[in-house]
Amino acid sequence: AFGYWELLLILLVVLLLFGAKKLPELARSLGKASKEFKAGADEVKREIEDAASSVEDES
């Protein structure tokens, strides 16, 4: 969704806001948050599929 220049601009703004020393810590935090979000989304998807299959079994 983002082009090369947009990503470069975002990286530059983040670097200016947080500084080079905090950038690795910020990247780790974003990675952990992304992983947790994906796990939560997978769990919701699994619950929806289970509910749909139980409704099909009842009919």
DSSP 44: H
Amino acid at 56: E
pLDDT at residue number 2: 77
pLDDT at residue number 1: 72
pLDDT at residue number 40: 97
Q: Which of 42, 40, 36 is nearest to 50 (CA)?
A: 42
Residue pLDDT, tens place only, 10-34: 989 988 988 888 888 988 998 999 9
pTM: 0.60
pLDDT at residue number 58: 79
